[in-house]
Each structure stands twice: as C-alpha cells, then as structure tokens.
Amino acid sequence: MDYVAIIVVAAVVTYLGTFLVRKLSPVLGFVVKPGGRMIHTRATPTLGGVAMFGGFIVALAVAQFFGVFRPVFSSSSEPIGVALGGLVIVVVGALDDIFDVSAPAKLAGQILSSSVLWIFGVTMFWFKLPFAGVVVLSASITPLLTAFWVVAMENAVNLIDGLDGLAAGIVAIASLAFGVYSLKLESLGQLPTTSLGPLVAFATFGICIGFLPHNVHQAKVFMGDTGAMFLGLLMAASTSVVGGRTSNVADQTFFFFAPLAIPFVILGVPMVDMAFAVVRRTARRTSVSSPDKEHLHHRLMQMGHGHGRSVVILWAWTSVLALVALTPTFISETKAIVPVVIVLVAVILWVMFHPGSKERGKHARAGLSQRFHLKAQSGNDTKEGSNSDVSDFVSNDVLTEVDHSESSDENVLPNN
C-alpha cells in the first residue's frame, strides 16, 4: 500500500500541475505550431515534462514520511542524485523545446545528467551474466557505463515520443513491470530493502498515469524533450540500481540469472526503434541526428492504422514484452511462457493482416472517386482502370495521414 500511495501522489500532482502548464505555456509562447516536420494540426502547449518533474519531486518528498522508505533516504545520497540529475535534464529539455538547441549541446546536457547520477552513486556496481559469472565494475569504467546507459535510455524514450500518448503509455507499462519485478527480487532477498529502484519505478508510473489524460489523442499538451528525456533518465536510474547490483542470484530462470536483461526486454519497443534508426541512418551515410519518418509508429500509420490504433498496438507490444519478462519470474515452469507467446503472435498477426481501419476504407473510397472522375474527363478507359492507379491513390492518401496527426517532436542521438 505504501507504493500505491506514492503512485497516487505522483499521478495527482502531475495531473493538476499539467493544467498549470497548459495555461501558462501559450501565455509565454511555449507552443508547438503545426507545419514543417510536425504532424499535428493545431498549436499545442509544450513543456508538459515540467509538471511530470514536479509530480516526481513531490512523490519523493512524501515518501520520506513513510517508514518503509526512510532507510532508502537515510542510507545514501541516491535520491538527491536522481532529483538533481532530473533537474539537469529537465532544464536541457526545456531549453531545447523553447530554443531548439544543437545536437552536440543536447548530448552534452545528457552526459551532464548522467554525471550527476554517477557522482551521487546512482550507477551499476556489478552484475551477473550467463556463462560469465559476476562482473565487478571498476571505478574507472562506471562513469562511462553510466553515461552510455543514461544517454541510451533518454534517447530511446525521446525517439518513441512521436504520437499522442505513445511515450507516456510505454514508459507507464515498462515502469510498472520493472517495479513489480524489483519487488519480487526484494521479497526473495536478492535486492536490499534500501534499494531506490522500486520507488523510482513506481513514482515514474504515477507521473505517466497523471500525464496521460492530457496527452492522449488529440493531445492538449506535449511532454516535449523535457518530459521524454526525464522519463528516460528515471528508467535509467531505476534499472541501473537494480540490474547493476543484483549478482547473488540462485534461481535457474534466465531472467533471475541475468536481471540486467530485463530493461532491454521491457523497453524493447523504444530500444528496437532507436537501434533501427541508428542502423538506417548509418547505412544511408547520414548523421544519426538526421530526421526521418520511418520510426515504428510512422510505419504502422503507413500500413493503414490510424493514430489511436498505432498507439494501442505499440502499447500492446510493450505489454507483451513485459509479460515475457515477468511470467518466468513468478512461474518457473517453461510452459508458462506459452500463453505469452500466443498473445505475441496474435498481436503480430493483427498488425500484419488487419491494417484495414475505417480511415483506410475512407481513403480508398476517396481514391476510387478521384480515379473515376479523372477517367470521365480523359475518356481513356483502359489506362485509368488499372489496379495500380487505384493502389497509388490509396497509398498516397494513407501516407498523408502521417502529416495530419500529432507532433513528432522526436530527437535521435540526440536530435532528429
């Protein structure tokens, strides 16, 4: 119940604080206008991440009054490190949302936020790998590994923030799953009760839940780089202090044997999206910060899925991956994974063979109408009656749907 209280506090403060951001942002001129690479159709307030940061800080402050969390605050300076690191990345994100800072400047800010975490001890100490045993990290390698971990997480979340509610929903699912996983480790004595990981994970879940009502399609406010990178930092902090400090594991399942793999499984959607973006742009010999519209959510919309359907599909993928991670943790039998695999296959089949939403049908009818109109004007029945022309009309109309949705204010390593 203590964690439930923290979730409620984080959610309520974020929810109420977002109203204030929505009111002040237009007055101060902090809005994202449509046009260019943006795919929303109206000027929308940004800096929603400021309200998320406020919700997280209040949740941390309230947690100090709960007896179960007092050892977390009294035994180390890590909570202060997460708060200060979060403040750094929120300032960097806000500057980028307002002034559009350069990619090197943003990367420097991300490294600075990771340095703050490292200074206050929010980093990995050791971890256990299959067939390699316990790997103890030296003092010289931890700053570099912390920077890599934090920058990767921040950009992975930032990359997926391309549709209304997408990033907040994915991080909500991932943080809840990781919080549950951390509590399981704690209950088995594999994680100390003074670990900051579960508290950060559940507080992250709370701020995402509080922000989502303002951000689902059509969004009344965007989290911006401010919120996306802040969520990435929180996920990096919680996963590093759990996955990077759990080594004395006796269970035979892989997920207990290598708890560091859990973040990659639960955050599989943004991680895969980021990896594909880097490979795609490297193969084209363009900068990894070059913008494009070939992310997972763009591809889903190009297949004919509407805005809301694309978001739900990616939420579903994240939920399935979370189940893949959690099921073996609670049920040791191998057969327990079978229902999860079935659900995964069902989701994939839904995406591959059921792209025909009502919106696609509407575009198809519009394309047919336009084709017959041109046919009547030209009188060339044979040419105008080809199936290829019909498909061209449909595909072009579907593709333009991407340009009339929500803001794709994404940034790739560190700006795309």
Q: Where does a domain end: 251, 266, 294?
A: 251
**Predicted confidence band at 400 (pLDDT cuts at 50, 70, 90)?**
very low
Span 327-376, pLDDT tens digits: 777 776 655 565 667 677 667 756 665 555 444 445 444 544 554 454 44
Residue 374, domain member (yes or no): yes
How high is the pLDDT of residue 324? 80
For helices 358-378 and 387-401, the axis angle rounded to 10 degrees is: 130
Higher pLDDT, 198 or 130: 198
Residue 182, domain member (yes or no): yes
**Predicted confidence band at 130 (pLDDT cuts at 50, 70, 90)?**
low
**Span of 226-235, 281-290, 298-307, 328-337 with lowest mean pLDDT:** 328-337
* Bridge partner list, 176: none
How high is the pLDDT of residue 353? 52
Residue 331, domain member (yes or no): no
**Predicted confidence band at 326 (pLDDT cuts at 50, 70, 90)?**
confident
Q: Do 386 and 372 form a contact (C-beta atoms < 8 A)?
A: no
d(CA 173, CA 235): 12
Looking at the fold, whether 362 and 239 belong to one and the same domain comes out as no
Looking at the fold, whether 246 and 362 belong to one and the same domain comes out as no
How high is the pLDDT of residue 339? 66
How high is the pLDDT of residue 337? 67
How high is the pLDDT of residue 328? 74
Q: Where does a domain end: 212, 231, 251?
A: 251
Span 54-67, pLDDT tens digits: 999 999 999 999 99
Residue 379, domain member (yes or no): yes
* Bridge partner list, 211: none
Domain range spanning residue 382?
Answer: 358-402
How high is the pLDDT of residue 389? 36
- Look at residue 111 and tell me whether its pLDDT is greater than 90: yes
Q: Cα torsion for 4, 268, 415, 292, to the nearest 10°?
A: -130
Higher pLDDT, 75 or 236: 236
Looking at the fold, whether 206 and 83 belong to one and the same domain comes out as yes
Query: What percent of the chain has pLDDT above 70?
Result: 71
Residue 326, domain member (yes or no): no
What is the residue type of 408? S
Mean pLDDT computed over 94-100: 94
Mean pLDDT computed over 221-236: 97
How high is the pLDDT of residue 15? 98
- Look at residue 406 and tell me whether its pLDDT is greater than 70: no
How high is the pLDDT of residue 40? 58
What is the residue type of 86? G
Residue 314, domain member (yes or no): no
Q: Could you check whether the bond before residue 143 is cis, i.e. omega within 30 degrees of 0?
A: no
Mean pLDDT computed over 189-205: 93
Minimal CA–CA distance to 266: which of 357, 174, 380, 359? 174
SS (H, E, C) 373-410: HHHHHHCCHHHHCCHHHHHHHHHHHHHHHHHHECCCCC
Query: What backbone torsions phi and psi does residue 355 show, to the nearest 5 degrees?
Result: -85, -5
- Look at residue 314 and tell me whether its pLDDT is greater than 60: yes
How many domains is the chain built from? Answer: 2
Q: Going by C-beta distance under 8 Å and a sequence separation of 6 or more, which residues neighbour residue 319?
A: 173
Looking at the fold, whether 57 and 185 belong to one and the same domain comes out as yes
Looking at the fold, whether 218 and 79 belong to one and the same domain comes out as yes
Looking at the fold, whether 200 and 73 belong to one and the same domain comes out as yes
Q: Where does a domain end: 203, 230, 251?
A: 251
How high is the pLDDT of residue 372? 43
Span 8-42, pLDDT tens digits: 999 999 999 999 999 999 999 999 887 555 555 67
Q: Do 386 and 289 form a contact (C-beta atoms < 8 A)?
A: no
Looking at the fold, whether 42 and 180 belong to one and the same domain comes out as yes
Higher pLDDT, 319 or 245: 319
- Look at residue 403 and tell me whether its pLDDT is greater than 60: no
Query: What percent of the chain has pLDDT above 90?
Result: 46
d(CA 12, CA 348): 35
Residue 65, domain member (yes or no): yes
**Span of 133-137, 283-287, 405-409 with lowest mean pLDDT:** 405-409
Average pLDDT, the chain: 79
d(CA 37, CA 17): 28
- Look at residue 53 and tell me whether its pLDDT is greater than 80: yes
**Span of 68-77, 203-212, 227-236 with lowest mean pLDDT:** 68-77
Looking at the fold, whether 180 and 57 belong to one and the same domain comes out as yes
* Bridge partner list, 23: none
Query: What backbone torsions phi and psi does residue 194 show, to the nearest 5 degrees?
Result: -85, 5
| Residue 132 in tokens | 């390699």
Looking at the fold, whether 81 and 228 belong to one and the same domain comes out as yes
d(CA 239, CA 372): 57
Looking at the fold, whether 226 and 362 belong to one and the same domain comes out as no
**Predicted confidence band at 202 (pLDDT cuts at 50, 70, 90)?**
very high
Mean pLDDT computed over 292-314: 76
How high is the pLDDT of residue 281? 78
- Look at residue 150 and tell me whether its pLDDT is greater than 80: yes
Mean pLDDT computed over 197-220: 96
Residue 371, domain member (yes or no): yes
